[in-house]
Amino acid sequence: MAAIVRAWKLVLSMIVLGALAAEALPVFAHGERAQEPYLRTRTAHWYDVTWSADKLSVNQEIVVTGKFRLYSDWPDAVQLPETVFVSNATPGPVFARVDSYLNGVPARQSFRDLEVGRDYEYKMVLRARIPGRYHVHPMIAIKGSGPLVGPGRWINVGGTADDFNYSLTAISGEKIDDLETWGVSAALTWHSIWLVIAAAWILWWVRRPLLIPRYLALKKEREDLLTTDTDIKLGIVVLVVAVGLAFYGYNWAQSKYPRTVPLQAGTMYTPPLPVQSPVVKIRFQEAKYDVPGRSMRMVMDVTNISDKPLRLGEFATASIRFVNHQLPAAKANVAANYPAELVARNGLGISDDSEIKPGETKQIAIDATDAAWEIERLTSFLTDVDSKVGGLLFFFDPEGRRHIAEVGGPILPVFKKS
Amino acid sequence: MSPNSREILAVSELPPEGAKLSRIWDWCVVAAVALLFMGAIHLHVMLTVGDWDMFIDWKDRQFWVLVTPVSMLMIPAALQAVFWHYFRLPIGMTLGAVLLLIATWITRYVGWHLWGYFPFTMGVPATMIAGALACDAILLIVRSSLLTSTFGGFVFALLFYPSNWASLAPYFIPIEHQGMVASVADMIGYVFPRSGTPEYIRMIERGTLRTYEGTTVWISSFFAGVICIFMHMLWWRIGLAFSTQRFVDSSKRFKKFVGLA
């Protein structure tokens, strides 16, 4: 007996420990790592993403802002961003969306004709609804392709879900006390009325001998017994009641809500953010991914076409940031509350970190080494049909101004450590 | 027991114990049919009507009014054929409508509200009980599958919108959001995000060159009615086909193969 008890204790301990181990892993996100690397490195590059809070209570609001660059070397497999909806990725409606904007234009509906190679700025205001700990991302959904998810940050929501409230006032003056419950009691009432009538009709028939006796009587051509004159009269009444009640309900609703509008469709348009004057020309040479070293090495020729010296401060791809730790302006560009797991611990290795003088062309090799390539499941580009990589380079001038350039091209795997 | 019931039992020539057993059998069948078709009709509607019935911000004037009754009619029409053809019971459509509404509310509450955190407002379903009652009543009165398809099928679709408008009108009053007009239904879809269901995925009325004085919904209803006529004919026959037993003589070769000859 004691052995059985011990065995049960052991099993329960393993279950509890297993559950705790599972709890410790960030498994409550929603599949952003499942997206193919070519998709995450060559479509929307998210930058300057901020979350206004990391802890809030139900009914408090969080503002998520940032920008994204639609990468010029857009993958063939992804539909061009001709119809795009700006959204947020959370595990279900745990946050209520209050407002959202793209380049300052309200983003309640989809946008049309976004341009690759250009930048857009978004803002979304979310109100905490369900207590818990959630991964909150900005996201754009592209018609024909699906969602492109930006970096996520864990947000803790406290309080109780019952306290959540979202009230509105209609243009026609009706006060909507709570968007979660508005109109539900009316729907339940009408559905109950119809269910009662239907149940009465069914009971009228099933209270009598039902299947076998009716089948046998019908075989003996005694249909007259099965549907009587009373039944037919009741059928007429039911027909009149069904039609009458349907149109009575319709007229009741029309008089109660005389001003209604159809669902709103259509798309919005906003021009992209103004183009920054280009300060560098990038000529991609090669890129290799060192599988055992978890390192992406890229060689490029950089020509400074501005009138100020420049230094490379950051390489960003798939929301992972490789920052040049030797450049204070680049380090300052990383917000303190940016998710640490998305900032490479070792930073960005640069073969020649000296300034690129105006007019100078310099060959630079960058070394982006971090376990994030594996953790974020970005290494499967080695088995992709479109084995190319892309990203953004952030250059900084002596005044600390940031200049963004795109870089990318084919990538080769290296399976033996060099 | 009413005289009519006694007479039915007498004509059936069931002995008293047989009549008692048949009544137990009735309730077994009722329970089985209720559960089986509750699941079947709900699954069918989820697969064919899908988001139009699922979400409040899909219930538009053009496609929702057209797709929903056409699809909701199918299995109930087959049930109606079976109940009428074998038992002269004009309850098949109504039973299907009732089972669907009950199943839908159960899943909206358990699946969407408790598990998915979605508010009730987002998933208020439509009901087809009015049209189903009318169609069953028409069958009882006209006693013809052809006439039931013609009139009952049409009325089924025609009653769909008015019988649901009483429940759904509150979701179509106008509100102002970010300087634009929106219906409450639009707002519910916006406020409670479905990460995998962006706005553009909605297959809803996108405007028409002719407004028909704002009567889009009635034109869609009439069109749905015409389709429902033929859909009712088709599914009536499917119902009969799937409730008919046919025995086929086995060939000698087959009997020999299985060791029977």
Query: So what's the pLDDT on residue A17?
Result: 57
Query: So what's the pLDDT on residue A27?
Result: 46
Q: Which among B186, B108, B213, B132 is positioned nearest to A266, based on CA atoms?
A: B186
For chain B, the structural domain boundaries read 60-245
Query: So what's the pLDDT on residue A381?
Result: 65
Query: So what's the pLDDT on residue A24?
Result: 47
Mutate to test the interface with A, among B95, B115, B178 (most CBs of A within 10 A): B178
Q: Do B174 and A261 touch (CB under 8 A)?
A: yes
Instruction: Kindly give the residue spans of alpha helices, DSSP state H, lying in chain B.
Output: 3-12, 16-48, 51-54, 63-72, 74-87, 92-107, 129-142, 145-147, 154-168, 184-191, 216-241, 252-257
Query: So what's the pLDDT on residue B49?
Result: 93
Nearby residues of A359 by Cβ (< 8 Å), 6 or more positions away: A303, A304, A305
Residue A108 backbone dihedrals phi, psi, to 5 degrees: -70, -30
pLDDT exceeds cutoff 90 at B147? yes
Radius of gyration over every alpha carbon of chain A, rounded to an integer in angstroms: 31
Sorting pLDDT into bands at 50, 70 and 90, what band is B38?
very high
CA geometry: angle at B47 spanning B42 and B49, to 5°?
Answer: 85
Mutate to test the interface with B, among A137, A179, A194 (most CBs of B within 10 A): A194
Partner B contacted by A236 (CB < 8 A): yes
User: Which fold, A2-8+179-256?
Assistant: Helix Hairpins (1.10.287)
Among chain B residues, the shortest Cα distance to A234 is held by: B137
Residue type, A69: R
The CA-to-CA distance between both ends of chain B, in Å, stands at 52
Residue type, B84: W
DSSP string, B226-237: HHHHHHHHHHHH
Residue type, A233: K
In CATH, which superfamily holds the domain spanning B60-245?
Answer: Ammonia/particulate methane monooxygenase, subunit A (1.20.1450.10)
User: In chain A, which residues have pLDDT < 50?
Assistant: 24-27
Chain segment A233-284, per-residue pLDDT in tens: 999 999 999 999 999 999 999 999 999 999 999 899 999 999 988 899 999 9
Partner B contacted by A203 (CB < 8 A): no
B252/B172: higher pLDDT: B172
Query: So what's the pLDDT on residue A417?
Result: 60
C-beta of residue B80 within 8 angstroms of C-beta of residue B239: yes
Radius of gyration over every alpha carbon of chain B, rounded to an integer in angstroms: 23
C-beta of residue A163 within 8 angstroms of C-beta of residue A141: no
Can you say whether residue A59 is alpha, beta or left, with left for phi > 0 and alpha for psi between -120 and 50 degrees? left
Query: So what's the pLDDT on residue B251?
Result: 81
Q: How far apart are CA B19 and CA B12, in angstroms?
A: 9
Nearby residues of B93 by Cβ (< 8 Å), 6 or more positions away: B73, B76, B77, B79, B80, B131, B132, B133, B135, B136, B152, B156
Beta bridge partners, A312, equal A395
Among chain A residues, the shortest Cα distance to B92 is held by: A202
Partner B contacted by A215 (CB < 8 A): yes
* Token pair in block for residue A171: 């243009």
CA geometry: angle at A332 spanning A331 and A337, to 5°?
Answer: 95
pLDDT above 90 coverage of chain B, percent? 70
Query: So what's the pLDDT on residue B75?
Result: 96
Q: Do A265 and B202 touch (CB under 8 A)?
A: yes
pLDDT exceeds cutoff 60 at B180? yes
ipTM: 0.93
Which of A209, A250, A259 is closest, CB to CB, to B165? Answer: A250
Query: So what's the pLDDT on residue B182?
Result: 95
Q: Which among A191, A405, A225 is positioned nearest to A310, based on CA atoms?
A: A405
Query: So what's the pLDDT on residue B2?
Result: 84
Q: Which among B122, B133, B33, B139 is positioned nearest to B84, based on CA atoms?
A: B139
Q: How far apart are CA B76 and CA B244, in angstroms?
A: 17
Among chain B residues, the shortest Cα distance to A184 is held by: B121
As a whole number, mean pLDDT of residues B127-156 equals 97
Q: Which among B261, B258, B234, B257 is positioned nearest to B80, based on CA atoms?
A: B234
Beta bridge partners, A161, equal none
Q: How far apart are CA B112 and CA A150, in angstroms?
A: 26
Query: So what's the pLDDT on residue A413?
Result: 85
Residue A315 CA, chain-centre distance (Å), reads 24
User: Which fold, A31-173?
Assistant: Jelly Rolls (2.60.120)
- Sequence length of chain B is 261
Chain segment B39-89, per-residue pLDDT in tens: 999 999 999 998 999 999 999 999 999 999 999 999 999 999 999 999 999
DSSP A308: S
Q: Which among B160, B136, B167 is positioned nearest to B223, based on CA atoms?
A: B160
Q: Work out whether the CA dihedral A158, A159, A160, A161 comes out positive or negative.
A: negative
Q: Do B155 and A265 touch (CB under 8 A)?
A: no
pLDDT exceeds cutoff 80 at B250? no
Q: How far apart are CA A256 and CA A181, in angstroms?
A: 18
Q: What is the pTM of this model?
A: 0.87
For chain A, the structural domain boundaries read 2-8+179-256, 31-173, 280-414
pLDDT exceeds cutoff 80 at B164? yes
Q: Work out whether the CA dihedral A107, A112, A116, A118 comes out positive or negative.
A: negative
Query: So what's the pLDDT on residue A5?
Result: 63
Nearby residues of B137 by Cβ (< 8 Å), 6 or more positions away: A235, A236, A238, A239, A242, B90
Q: Do A198 and B97 touch (CB under 8 A)?
A: yes
* Token pair in block for residue B240: 């009969």
Beta strand A95-102 with A146-149 is: unpaired
Among the CATH numbers 2.60.40.1580, 3.40.225.10, 3.30.2130.30, 1.10.150.80, which is that of A280-414? 2.60.40.1580
* Token pair in block for residue A242: 């069904």
Torsion angle of the four alpha carbons A209, A210, A213, A215, in this order, in degrees rounded to the nearest 10 = 150
Nearby residues of A401 by Cβ (< 8 Å), 6 or more positions away: none
C-beta of residue A104 within 8 angstroms of C-beta of residue A95: no
Helix, strand, coil in percent for chain A, rounding step 5: 25, 35, 40
Partner B contacted by A206 (CB < 8 A): yes
Q: Do B89 and A267 touch (CB under 8 A)?
A: no
Residue type, B254: F
